[in-house]
């Protein structure tokens, strides 16, 4: 799992806190993704960046704010979250060839909102 | 609406027996199909994908999957299960007219291999 790394691996925060999740990819890819994974549900795509430009934003609440400073790094800034936001947050990366590129995932950040 | 179904929440198989994890889909056009595996406390790992060509696709760890267009299925198979295959398996589909980045995901199937 050294291709895509995520920190922290676990995060507990109160509803009034502000925190950030970090993702870094070492695969030379130029697209990066944030997903939310909840138990027994399909993965939910939150945001996609391609060549550092946001290309997908799937109706995600504004309390989640992504940032992609370069093609290797992706952040998810969190503020005033709700308990239902507790989940595993996965980062992924891929090429952008225009075809069915494989997405490669990090280990995830387990987020608990109290 | 486009969708992916993994009809079994859990599949139990004895070690050494063949295993099948089922996936069916409903999308327009010729889909691109993926299987991923997730071990406890880990991210998803890519197993294999079907783009075009031979309907039988071979992937990592001895897994293979067969694309069946008439049945709109892409079942994951392995001839002889190992205890270490126990994990959560996800099927995903990209419809050809969709964004390059959008995958339609199944809800996952928990595979338990018993010694």
Cβ of A100 and B49 within 8 Å?
A: yes
Residue for token digits 């391609």?
A50
What is residue A99's predicted lDDT score, i.e. its pLDDT? 74
Name the β-bridge partners of B65: B57, B76
Please write the tens of the pLDDT for every residue from A35-68: 999 988 999 999 999 888 888 778 899 999 999 9
Say if CB A34 and CB A74 are below 8 A apart.
yes
What is residue A51's predicted lDDT score, i.e. its pLDDT? 85
What is residue A61's predicted lDDT score, i.e. its pLDDT? 93
A28–chain B nearest CA distance, Å: 17
Cβ of B4 and A42 within 8 Å?
A: yes
Is residue A18 over pLDDT 90?
yes
| Interface membership of B2 toward A (CB under 8 Å) | no
- Take residue A72 and report the two structure tokens written for it: 């290797």
- Take residue A51 and report the two structure tokens written for it: 């060549």
What is residue B44's predicted lDDT score, i.e. its pLDDT? 94
What is residue B41's predicted lDDT score, i.e. its pLDDT? 81
| Interface membership of A55 toward B (CB under 8 Å) | yes
Please write the tens of the pLDDT for every residue from A19-32: 999 999 999 999 99
At A84, is the secondary structure helix, strand, or coil? Answer: helix
List the single best residue of B26, B101, B109 to mutate versus A (max A Cβ within 10 A): B101
Residues 61-90 of A with CB under 8 A from B: 90
Q: Pick from A40, A56, A90: which is nearest to B101 by CB?
A: A56
Say if CB B39 and CB B87 are below 8 A apart.
yes
pLDDT: which is higher, A6 or A17: A6
Cβ of B43 and A45 within 8 Å?
A: no
Say if CB B107 and CB B57 are below 8 A apart.
no
Q: How far is B16 from B100, CA to CA, in rounded Å?
A: 38
Q: What's the length of chain A?
A: 114
Ranges of residues in chain B with a pLDDT under 70 are none
Say if CB B21 and CB B33 are below 8 A apart.
no
Cβ of A100 and B90 within 8 Å?
A: no
Q: How far is B18 from B96, CA to CA, in rounded Å?
A: 32
Contacts of B109 (CB under 8 A, 6+ apart): B6, B8, B9, B10, B11, B21, B22, B88, B89, B90
Contacts of B95 in chain A (CB under 8 A): none
What is residue A106's predicted lDDT score, i.e. its pLDDT? 96
Q: How far is B62 from A94, CA to CA, in rounded Å?
A: 24
What is residue B35's predicted lDDT score, i.e. its pLDDT? 98
Is residue A1 over pLDDT 70?
no
């Amino acid at each position: 799992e050294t291709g895509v790394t995520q920190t922290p691996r676990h995060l507990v925060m109160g509803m009034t806190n502000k925190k950030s999740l970090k993702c870094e990819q070492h695969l030379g890819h130029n697209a990066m993704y944030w997903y939310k994974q909840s138990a027994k549900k399909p993965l939910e795509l939150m945001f996609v960046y391609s060549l550092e430009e946001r290309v997908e934003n799937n109706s995600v609440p504004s309390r989640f704010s992504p940032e992609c400073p370069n093609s290797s790094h992706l952040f998810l800034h969190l503020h005033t979250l709700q308990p239902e936001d507790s989940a595993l947050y996965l980062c992924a990366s891929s090429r952008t060839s225009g075809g069915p590129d494989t997405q490669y995932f990090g280990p995830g950040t387990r987020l608990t909102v109290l | 609406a486009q969708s992916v179904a993994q009809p079994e929440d859990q599949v139990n198989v004895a070690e050494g027996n063949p295993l099948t994890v089922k996936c069916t889909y409903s999308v327009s056009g010729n889909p691109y199909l993926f299987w991923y595996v997730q071990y406890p406390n880990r991210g998803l790992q890519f197993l294999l994908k079907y783009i075009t060509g031979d309907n039988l696709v071979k992937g990592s760890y001895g897994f293979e999957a067969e694309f069946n267009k008439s049945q709109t299925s892409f079942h994951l198979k392995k001839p002889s299960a190992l205890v270490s295959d126990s994990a959560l398996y996800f099927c995903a589909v990209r419809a050809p007219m969709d964004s390059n980045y959008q995958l339609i995901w199944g809800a996952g199937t928990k595979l338990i291999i018993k010694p």
